[in-house]
Structure 1
Amino acid sequence: MLEEREKERATRQYGRPNVGGPFSLTTHEGKPFTEKDLEGKWSLVYFGFANCPDICPAELDKMTSVVNTAQKEHGDIFLPVFITVDPSRDLPHRIGRYLEDFHPSFVGLYGDYDATKAACKKYRVYFSTPPNADPNGDYLVDHSIFVYLMDPNGQFVEAFGQATSAEDVVTKINETIQEWEKETGRKV
């Protein structure tokens, strides 16, 4: 009987983690953006800040490499998204300038502190920016370092940590797209 229970437990599937969901922010071009705008493309979502000296630029470079490689095989079906966790300093013009160094299809998102905190909560992102941060202050922001892969329905697929290589991300994306197309019977 114990053996049977163990077999049953080993084959049980538990579904996807509850990551993502409703949020309302603004693009670096001043347009409203919600979770609905993630639908229709495969999205790579990253939370960071423009004053980050090293980790954020490295992760956005990695995302750029991933999108460039994946587009060669799949076409223009990807939406890279940068969400600031430093709403005091990262105003739209600043985010736009910051993203110029990365993939041209990047969408930068910002909101006030409460909107930022709400979006971070949906993605289970930690960040240390205080609500009353001085926009002229010289401070660093501690935050979670993950790139989130979302499917064309806006559903969470996978989170890639800093140690995951661009090649490994592309491999997982290719596998995921193949599985998704087989399950849904459609292409994006």
Structure 2
Amino acid sequence: MKNRTLISASLLCLTMILLSNTAMAKMPILKGMGGDFTLQSSKGYEVSLSDYQDKVVMLFFGYTNCPDICPTTIAHISQMIKTLTPEQRKRVQVLFISIDTDYDTPEHLNKYLEYFDPSFIGLVDEREKIDHVAKLYHAEYSKLANEKVTTEFKKLSVDDEQQEEKGCLYSHSAKIFIIDTQSRVRGFFYVGTPVNDMKEQVTSLF
């Protein structure tokens, strides 16, 4: 009887482990959110989400003048990317969509993102196009009056001609959208999500 109980307990534990691993490997598909788009990129050419259907895309909305959330979040993403093997890194693409169409240019985005990882691609375009993509992903943002940002309060300053100008402050979503190889939104990460959890979830979608 005792042996039978031990066997039953062992089978139960094994079943729970298998179920846990299966749940981890299958991130839910979030319906009613997402979709293809085409925007100007920091690499000097137009980029569409559909260009990366062989990769898992990590998508974030922000702006280079952001004093805290953006540099912290992108640094967190960069930290996770560095834990991947070279082969795994080839299967992940980070896209950073700028909501500050008045200040951010493709060239400036490129200099900003190279600080974190040269493979990261920045996207910016006309306000109407950015608004359309933000609506697709339910990524809310708003300009906080017309107060200008000074480099005194920024965690990261990119040394170029843009520094002579000042951009506005924005309130925006802090979600890192995870998009699978079929362009479906599969979930979100935040700056507080453990790096190992991010890695496990992303690589489960390969």
Normalised TM-score (structure 1): 0.77
Task: Name the counterpart of 1:76.
Answer: 90
Please, which of 127, 144, 155 is the counterpart of residue 113 of structure 1?
Answer: 127
- Structure 1 vs Structure 2 CA RMSD: 2.4
Note the C-alpha offset of 1:175. Answer: 3.5
Contact 1:71 1:78 in 2 (8 A): no
TM superposition shift of 1:165: 2.2
Residue by residue over 1:22-43, the C-alpha shift from the partner in whole angstroms, topping out at 9 and shown as x without a partner, is 3221101221112212311111
Q: Normalising to structure 2: TM-score of the pair?
A: 0.71
Bigger mean CA offset, 42-51 vs 156-165: 156-165
Distance 1:104 1:71, change over 3 A: farther
Say if 1:82 and 1:119 are closer, same or farther in 2 by CA, change over 3 A.
same
**Corresponding residue to 1:153 among 167, 177, 182:** 182
SS in 1 for 2:85: helix
Cα deviations across residues 39-90 of structure 1 (Å, max 9, x unaligned)?
Answer: 1111111111000111101110111111221335735111111110111101
1:88 to 75, 89, 102: 102
Aligned residue type for 2:180: D
**Matched residue SS, 1:141:** strand
Kindly report which structure 2 residues correspond to 1:1-188, keeping only aligned pairs within 5 A, or say none: 16-72=30-86, 74-129=88-143, 136-177=165-206
- The secondary structure found in structure 2 opposite 1:140 is strand
Deviates more, 1:33-42 or 1:90-99: 33-42
Q: Counterpart of 2:131 in structure 1: which amino acid? A: K
Q: Give the number of equivalent residue pairs.
A: 163
Cα drift, residue 155 of structure 1: 1.4
Q: Percent identity?
A: 26
Q: Are the counterparts in 1 of residues 61 and 98 from structure 2 also a CA contact under 8 Å? A: yes
User: Which has the larger displacement, 77-86 or 67-76?
Assistant: 67-76
Give the CA deviation at 1:19: 2.2
Q: Distance in 2 between matches of 1:63 and 1:141?
A: 21
Whole-angstrom distance in 2 between the partners of 1:156 and 1:103: 23
Unaligned runs of 5+ in 2: 1-27, 149-161
1:147 and 1:88, CA in 2 relative to 1: closer, same or farther beyond 3 A?
A: same
Are residues 70 and 17 of structure 1, via their aligned partners in 2, closer, same or farther at CA, if it must alter by over 3 Å?
A: farther
Cα displacement string for residues 106-128 of structure 1 (whole angstroms, at most 9, x for unaligned residues): 01100110000001111110011
C-alpha contact 2:30 2:186 (8 A) present in aligned 1:
yes
What SS class does the counterpart of residue 134 from structure 2 fall into? helix
